[in-house]
Amino acid sequence: MRMIDNVRTVLRENWKTYLITNLVVYSTLVMTMIAAVYVPGIRDAGLGATEAFLSSPGAAAVLEAYTRGSIVQAAALTFLGNLLFASLATTTLPSLCIPYVGVLTTLGRAVFIGLPTAPTTLSEVITFLVFAPVLVIEFQAYVLAMLGAIIHGRSTFDDRRQHGSSRAGGYLAGVRDTLRLYPAIIAVLLVVAFIEATTSWLAH
């Protein structure tokens, strides 16, 4: 319960930023999909980048688990990949080194995923509509990670210093607020991983 209260407290104190972050991230995702449909060559570039990513050792291991039809392993690897890579390694940790950089990486992820995901045929539209709720839920985890990056940067440079705290104190306060969001990020990614693994198993 305390973890839930911590998440609620951070969201309540930063609700305007949270709403704006949602708007920016999902708008970027949608606009990227629209551009992929109407601008020649962009979607192909996105598909090529996705194929290159999926050929990497980590992604290949996840795909292999899905191919074997192992729900538990596929869900576990999907969860770990989304948590360790998409949330921690490319959003939170870089932002602790360079404040606010997680904003750029999250928007970049929206573009990276939006390009190959954009449907261009009727069958792709149907498939997209089926899986769209999962994509929306998954991106909520990335929105929360981006929110953490914004809170951390703001705490380091603005809010805490205005109240007499040192920059180091503001930095650490931002880290604490970011960590308070991670129970929600973990919960969202667990749900998404289970849904994706189960859906893939049923499809085969």
- The total of structural domains in the chain comes to 1
Residue 159: per-residue pLDDT: 56
Q: What SS3 class is residue 98? A: coil
Kindly indicate the confidence band of residue 2, based on its pLDDT and cuts at 50, 70 and 90.
confident
> What pLDDT, in 10s, does the model give residues 109-132?
999 999 999 998 899 999 899 899
**Contacts for 71 with CB less than 8 Å, ≥ 6 apart:** 197, 198, 201
User: What is the domain extent for residue 177?
Assistant: 2-203
Task: Output b/e per residue, 95-126; b: 16+ Cβ within 10 A.
Answer: bbeebbbbbebbbebbbbbbbbbbbeeeeeee
Residue 169: per-residue pLDDT: 85
Q: What is the mean pLDDT of the chain?
A: 91
Kindly indicate the confidence band of residue 170, based on its pLDDT and cuts at 50, 70 and 90.
confident
**Contacts for 7 with CB less than 8 Å, ≥ 6 apart:** 180, 181, 183, 184
Residue 92: per-residue pLDDT: 98
Residue 168 in tokens: 């180091």
Per-residue pLDDT, averaged over 88-101, amounts to: 96
Q: Are 102 and 92 in contact (CB under 8 A)?
A: yes
> What pLDDT, in 10s, does the model give residues 9-43?
999 999 999 999 999 999 999 999 999 999 989 99
